[in-house]
Structure 1
Amino acid sequence: MSVTLIFKIAAVGILVSILSQVLKHSGREEQAFLVSFAGLILVLGWILPYIYELFLTIQRLFAL
Protein backbone atom coordinates (compact mmCIF):
# COMPACT_ATOMS: atom_id res chain seq x y z
CA MET A 1 0.00 0.00 0.00
CA SER A 2 1.41 3.33 -0.98
CA VAL A 3 1.40 6.56 0.96
CA THR A 4 -0.57 8.28 -1.81
CA LEU A 5 -3.52 5.97 -1.14
CA ILE A 6 -3.51 7.01 2.51
CA PHE A 7 -3.49 10.67 1.49
CA LYS A 8 -6.35 10.07 -0.96
CA ILE A 9 -8.41 8.40 1.76
CA ALA A 10 -7.69 11.28 4.14
CA ALA A 11 -8.66 13.84 1.49
CA VAL A 12 -11.93 12.06 0.77
CA GLY A 13 -12.66 11.88 4.50
CA ILE A 14 -12.07 15.59 4.94
CA LEU A 15 -14.18 16.53 1.91
CA VAL A 16 -17.01 14.22 2.88
CA SER A 17 -17.11 15.52 6.43
CA ILE A 18 -17.18 19.15 5.28
CA LEU A 19 -19.86 18.51 2.66
CA SER A 20 -21.89 16.48 5.12
CA GLN A 21 -21.82 19.21 7.74
CA VAL A 22 -22.77 21.89 5.21
CA LEU A 23 -25.65 19.81 3.91
CA LYS A 24 -26.89 18.95 7.42
CA HIS A 25 -26.91 22.60 8.47
CA SER A 26 -28.85 23.57 5.37
CA GLY A 27 -31.51 20.96 6.14
CA ARG A 28 -30.60 18.43 3.47
CA GLU A 29 -29.91 15.44 5.64
CA GLU A 30 -30.76 12.91 2.93
CA GLN A 31 -28.13 14.34 0.61
CA ALA A 32 -25.64 14.42 3.49
CA PHE A 33 -26.21 10.71 4.02
CA LEU A 34 -25.76 10.03 0.31
CA VAL A 35 -22.49 11.99 0.23
CA SER A 36 -21.21 10.00 3.20
CA PHE A 37 -22.31 6.74 1.59
CA ALA A 38 -20.67 7.67 -1.72
CA GLY A 39 -17.41 8.47 0.08
CA LEU A 40 -17.53 5.12 1.84
CA ILE A 41 -18.14 3.25 -1.42
CA LEU A 42 -15.31 5.15 -3.13
CA VAL A 43 -12.79 4.34 -0.41
CA LEU A 44 -13.90 0.71 -0.23
CA GLY A 45 -13.38 0.47 -3.98
CA TRP A 46 -9.83 1.70 -3.54
CA ILE A 47 -8.89 -0.67 -0.72
CA LEU A 48 -10.75 -3.77 -1.91
CA PRO A 49 -7.81 -5.07 -4.01
CA TYR A 50 -5.52 -4.79 -0.99
CA ILE A 51 -7.99 -6.72 1.18
CA TYR A 52 -8.24 -9.42 -1.50
CA GLU A 53 -4.44 -9.63 -1.66
CA LEU A 54 -4.31 -9.94 2.14
CA PHE A 55 -6.73 -12.87 2.13
CA LEU A 56 -4.76 -14.59 -0.64
CA THR A 57 -1.55 -14.16 1.34
CA ILE A 58 -3.14 -15.59 4.48
CA GLN A 59 -4.52 -18.49 2.46
CA ARG A 60 -1.08 -19.28 1.02
CA LEU A 61 0.52 -18.90 4.42
CA PHE A 62 -1.72 -21.47 6.06
CA ALA A 63 -2.06 -23.57 2.88
CA LEU A 64 -5.83 -23.74 3.11
Structure 2
Amino acid sequence: MDVDLIFKIAAVGILVAVLNQLLVRSGREEQAMMTTLAGLVVVMMILVQEISGLFQLIKTLFDL
Protein backbone atom coordinates (compact mmCIF):
# COMPACT_ATOMS: atom_id res chain seq x y z
CA MET A 1 0.00 0.00 0.00
CA ASP A 2 1.31 3.36 -0.96
CA VAL A 3 1.53 6.18 1.57
CA ASP A 4 0.38 8.58 -1.14
CA LEU A 5 -3.04 6.90 -1.12
CA ILE A 6 -3.43 7.59 2.60
CA PHE A 7 -2.49 11.24 2.09
CA LYS A 8 -5.03 11.60 -0.75
CA ILE A 9 -7.82 10.18 1.38
CA ALA A 10 -6.80 12.33 4.37
CA ALA A 11 -6.71 15.46 2.19
CA VAL A 12 -10.21 14.78 0.89
CA GLY A 13 -11.42 14.14 4.43
CA ILE A 14 -9.93 17.36 5.79
CA LEU A 15 -11.30 19.40 2.89
CA VAL A 16 -14.78 17.91 3.28
CA ALA A 17 -14.73 18.46 7.05
CA VAL A 18 -13.80 22.13 6.67
CA LEU A 19 -16.41 22.72 3.97
CA ASN A 20 -19.00 20.90 6.03
CA GLN A 21 -18.36 23.07 9.08
CA LEU A 22 -18.45 26.27 7.03
CA LEU A 23 -21.73 25.32 5.40
CA VAL A 24 -23.37 24.19 8.64
CA ARG A 25 -22.41 27.39 10.44
CA SER A 26 -23.82 29.48 7.60
CA GLY A 27 -27.14 27.63 7.82
CA ARG A 28 -26.83 25.53 4.67
CA GLU A 29 -27.24 22.04 6.08
CA GLU A 30 -28.45 20.55 2.79
CA GLN A 31 -25.35 21.68 0.92
CA ALA A 32 -23.20 20.42 3.80
CA MET A 33 -24.76 16.98 3.48
CA MET A 34 -24.26 16.99 -0.30
CA THR A 35 -20.62 17.99 0.18
CA THR A 36 -20.12 15.12 2.60
CA LEU A 37 -21.72 12.67 0.18
CA ALA A 38 -19.60 13.98 -2.70
CA GLY A 39 -16.46 13.51 -0.60
CA LEU A 40 -17.53 9.97 0.22
CA VAL A 41 -18.08 9.22 -3.48
CA VAL A 42 -14.63 10.61 -4.36
CA VAL A 43 -12.94 8.45 -1.72
CA MET A 44 -14.90 5.39 -2.85
CA MET A 45 -13.84 5.96 -6.45
CA ILE A 46 -10.19 6.20 -5.37
CA LEU A 47 -10.54 2.95 -3.42
CA VAL A 48 -12.30 1.16 -6.28
CA GLN A 49 -9.47 2.13 -8.65
CA GLU A 50 -6.89 0.81 -6.20
CA ILE A 51 -8.79 -2.44 -5.68
CA SER A 52 -9.14 -2.83 -9.45
CA GLY A 53 -5.38 -2.42 -9.80
CA LEU A 54 -4.87 -5.04 -7.11
CA PHE A 55 -7.13 -7.51 -8.92
CA GLN A 56 -5.30 -6.85 -12.19
CA LEU A 57 -1.99 -7.52 -10.44
CA ILE A 58 -3.28 -10.79 -8.97
CA LYS A 59 -4.69 -11.79 -12.35
CA THR A 60 -1.33 -11.11 -14.03
CA LEU A 61 0.61 -12.79 -11.23
CA PHE A 62 -1.32 -16.05 -11.45
CA ASP A 63 -1.67 -15.82 -15.25
CA LEU A 64 -5.46 -16.12 -15.21
Answer whether TM exceeds 0.5 for this pair.
yes
Shift of 1:2: 1.1
The root-mean-square deviation of aligned C-alpha atoms, in Å, is 1.9
Q: Structure 2-normalised TM-score?
A: 0.76
Determine if the alignment matches structure 1 residue 34 to structure 2 residue 23: no
Q: Which residue of 2 aligns with 1:17?
A: 17
Q: Which residue of 1 aligns with 2:49?
A: 49
Q: Which amino acid aligns with 2:5?
A: L
Shift of 1:41: 0.2
Q: Which amino acid aligns with 2:30?
A: E
Q: Which amino acid aligns with 1:24?
A: V
Shift of 1:37: 0.3
Distance 1:4 1:49 in 2: 14
Q: Which amino acid aligns with 1:49?
A: Q
Paired residue total: 58
Q: Structure 1-normalised TM-score?
A: 0.76
Shift of 1:36: 0.3
Structure 2 unaligned spans of 5+: 57-64
